[in-house]
Structures are given as C-alpha cells and as structure tokens.
Amino acid sequence: MTQVVITRVPAVAVVTRGIGAQGPPGADGAGAESVGPFVTAEAIPSSSLIHVSQSTGQAYKADRTLCREAHGYVISGASSGASITIYRIGRITGLTLKTQGRKQWLGTGGQCVESAPTSGLLQEIGIADSSTSVSVGFGSATLLA
C-alpha cells in the first residue's frame, strides 16, 4: 500500500502546537482557538468537520472520499454563502453514538467515524470523551491508495 502525506493546508488555518500529551477537553468552543471568518461554499450542519480550500479560501464539509482533510470544526451550522468561525481545539458536541475512549477518524460529509477508513484520506480527529462529544486533536492526513 502506498501512502502519501498531504501537506496542502491554507496558511490561515494552520495552528502549530508543541508535541506532547493531549490535555483535558475544553469547554464547547468557550476559550477554544478559532480562525476566521470564512465564507461557506455549501450548507454546513452544526458540529461538522471543516475543510478550507487553498484555492478559494471557502469552507466546505471535510470528506475523506473527496480528499478534503479536516482543518477544524464548527459549533453552529450555516447556509451556503454565510460566514463561519472554525475551531481548532476543544470539543465537538451534539454528536450521537460515540463510544467513550474510541479514536475518531475523518468520515464523509463533515462527520467523524469510529472505524479507520481503508481508502481515501486517513486522518485522526480525536477521541470520544462521551457518547455525544469528541475531544479534538487533528492529525495529519494520509492518502490511502
């Protein structure tokens, strides 16, 4: 299997942190590190993972099958053409069917899933800290051949 690390990340959405253990989950966006505003290129539901296009600067739902790695998440949803703030650290809340302690991976349509994909992009999103929330810790995206 060939793996390629994708490094195309819009400079405005890059956050550099020291390497170390992940700290405790933050409040739901309160005090969380955010970037933006960004204009949405499509309707985005609340609690979605977000990709910012390097070519247009617009926000899309992150999606492993479309090679749209996650750069952050939104707390509130927005319609196409609206302005959003993207969060890089903290907790994604309002989710369902998460298993506490399980790793979360980039899925499709802005969602995170509990099973690592076998095709498309492989990107760790964080760890479920309850059945309804994920403590984020975005990993690098790898293209699976």
Q: Is the pLDDT of residue 7 over 60?
A: no
Q: Give the pTM.
A: 0.77
Architecture of domain 3-7+32-144: Beta Barrel (2.40)
| Banded pLDDT at 21 (limits 50, 70, 90) | low
| Banded pLDDT at 33 (limits 50, 70, 90) | confident
Give the integer Cα–Cα distance in Å for 112 and 99.
12
- Tens of pLDDT along 61-90? 999 999 999 999 999 999 999 999 999 989
User: What residues does each domain of the chain span?
Assistant: 3-7+32-144
Given a contact cutoff of 8 angstroms between Cβ atoms, the answer to whether 52 and 13 are in contact is yes
Round to the nearest angstrom and report the end-to-end CA distance of the chain. Answer: 6
Give the integer Cα–Cα distance in Å for 73 and 83.
14
What pLDDT shows up at residue 125?
Answer: 96
